Amino acid sequence: MARLQALLLGSYGVSRVLGQTWCGKDYTVGSPIIPPGGEFPAPATSTEPLLALRCAPAIKPYLEEDALTPAAIIVDSPITYQQISGASPITLPSNSLLGDLLVTVTANGKFLTTGVVPLNASKVELPFSLVGLQTQKQAYDVSCSATYSPPGGAKQTFEAGTALSYLPNPETGSVTKMDLRSGSLLAKPANNPSGPYGPVFPLGFYTNWGGYLDTNYNLSFIDDIAARGYTIVHPVPDYDNLTQFSLVVDRMAEVGLYLMYDMRWDYQNATAVTEQVNMFKNRSNLLLWYTGDEPDGSGDPLNATLNAYDLIYELDGYHPVSLVLNCQDYHFTEYSSGADIVMQDTYPIGINATWSVEYHTECTPDYGCCGCDNCVGDFEDISNRMDEFRQRLEVLGWDRTKALWTVPQAFGNAQFWNRVPSGKEWVVESVLGINHGGLGVVPWNDPTTTDITNSATILAKALPTLEAFILSPSATYKQSTADRVDVGMWTVGTQTLVLATNLNYFNATLDLAALIPGSLGQVTEVFNSGATYSNGQIQLESVGTGGFMVGL
């Protein structure tokens, strides 16, 4: 969160005087009102059906050690009436039976696999063997060719492409894979480099280095973070004492915490990026890199994030790259192109969404800065932002290869924000992000209040149960909202995880029996921030949230 960070460092005025815009908007008194541009174009509609054929490897990257284990290409075949990336006209039969595609997959022209994929299907896996491929630094160029032969109709062909990463085993250090079936991260235990790969749900705060981690020489802060059940730490630079920073990262590894390495101040400097990647890429607990911190807000060069992404992959390639976007709609495509994981940091608690208390101007889609871009100041700002980002990734054809994370607000009483969220409000923010596709929760920032810390601990302690559903490649997912009660449901086998959060500041009731047809079976509480279950109904307190496992 660049704005508050700069304020805390005493440099906000200096950094903004140079630019005078945020999200492309002028915001000072007397400055001109000029539309910022950079809006994401709405896809044109089609009166005829289109096939948006997509394919991607199931895992990124595959390693040499995976050669004898099953590999797969995932194929999606949605029928759409929007002219999104890769969508081509398709002539469908007049009856209701859509039929199938015959898909053939090649890598650098070499046959990999073939198989039948139903039309309008998602996440169909076509298995193949890595044995016939050589590991290499450069990704394989994969082509997916589909043939559609409806009964009585002419044969139609479609094409899609992707990249397959198949790397040598690293000599040292960790590897973080992306499971593109679910968008989740796979890693070995941070404190056991010889252990098995498993899914990781990243939950941990942006954590101040200066004045916090750097002053805690007995490392008790790290021990406390691990005891609370967090899975990652995201230290906020500058790291002015590399010896001390190394000791902190060592201790994180010992207690099983992953590192989210932040190079926000240097990511546009190729020399600095090279030095930092080479310094930390072999760490056993490195989970991922972090480059642009609100590059859309500060108006970084449009190619900056992609340039950093390409350089990091040239130097490493074994860990994904992340960034956070602050603006509601400002050059989303350009900035998000430089990331595997796109985060959003919508902070709606305690703001005046229409009048800037910092700059004493109004806030509109074309002007002003109120701390939450184009927001109205309620929880829905978060879910709307998550949905908008997800929809844009779908339009761009990136929804299978990029994941979304959420950055809940854990601060206040500064600048645009007149108060700190309560612990229960923080949980609403977090679960709302999860319910709308977030596969990681990284709040800004620690140290925070005791109330938020205790609530974050409750959520973290529930993670082993939650992630077994949320990160499962076989999960089917549904989301619904009624009367400002937001519900996410993940079904694996005969069990369903239900996360329900009340966005109202009064009690609410959720009829669970109406959401899940048939007998509910056993209902077990797995997470409680102001929720109880009885006789088919979940009672939610004001801004209450609950997690329940339903079924056998």
Provide the residue-wise pLDDT of the chain in tens; the chain has 552 residues: 544 444 333 222 223 333 589 999 999 999 999 999 999 999 999 999 999 999 999 999 999 999 999 999 999 999 999 999 999 999 998 877 888 999 999 999 999 999 999 999 999 999 999 999 999 999 999 999 999 998 777 899 999 999 999 999 999 999 999 999 999 999 999 999 999 999 999 999 999 999 899 987 779 999 999 999 999 999 999 998 889 999 999 999 999 999 999 999 999 999 999 999 999 999 999 999 999 999 999 999 999 999 999 999 999 999 999 999 999 999 999 999 999 999 999 999 999 999 999 999 999 999 999 999 999 999 999 999 999 999 999 999 999 999 999 999 999 999 999 999 999 999 999 999 999 999 999 999 999 999 999 999 999 999 999 999 999 999 999 999 999 999 999 999 999 999 999 999 999 999 999 999 888 999 999 999 999 999 999 999 999 999 999 996
Q: Which residue has the tokens 């492409």?
A: 161
Name the CATH topology of 478-551.
Immunoglobulin-like (2.60.40)
Q: Would the pTM count as exceeding 0.85?
A: yes
What is the 3-state secondary structure of 483-547? Answer: CCEEEEEEEECCEEEEEEEECCCCCEEEEHHHHCCCCCCCEEEEEEEEEEEECCEEEEEEEEEEE
Render 271-318 in DSSP notation, one character per residue: HHHHHHHHHHTT-TTEEEEEEEESHHHHT--TTHHHHHHHHHHHH--S
> What residue segments make up the domains of the chain, in order of their start?
45-167, 176-473, 478-551
What's the DSSP call for residue 215?
Answer: G
Q: What per-residue confidence (pLDDT) applies to 215? A: 86
Render 313-368 in DSSP notation, one character per residue: HHH--SS-EEEEE--SSSSHHHHHTT-SEEEE----TT--SSB-TTT-SB-BTTB-
Superfamily the domain 45-167 falls into: Immunoglobulins (2.60.40.10)
Q: Do 45-167 and 478-551 come out as alike in CATH topology? A: yes
Q: Dihedral of the CA atoms 391, 500, 177, 73 (nearest 10)?
A: -60
Q: What per-residue confidence (pLDDT) applies to 517? A: 84
pLDDT digits (tens, 9 = 90+) for 244-258: 999 999 999 999 999
Residues 6+ apart with CB under 8 A from 52: 76, 77, 78, 79, 80, 84, 85, 86, 87, 88, 397
Count CA atoms closer than 13 A to 204's CA, side-chain side: 28
Closest CA to 469 of 513, 418, 504, 435: 435
Q: What per-residue confidence (pLDDT) applies to 11? A: 28
Cα gap 161→86, rounded to integer Å: 9
Class at the top of the CATH hierarchy for domain 176-473: alpha beta
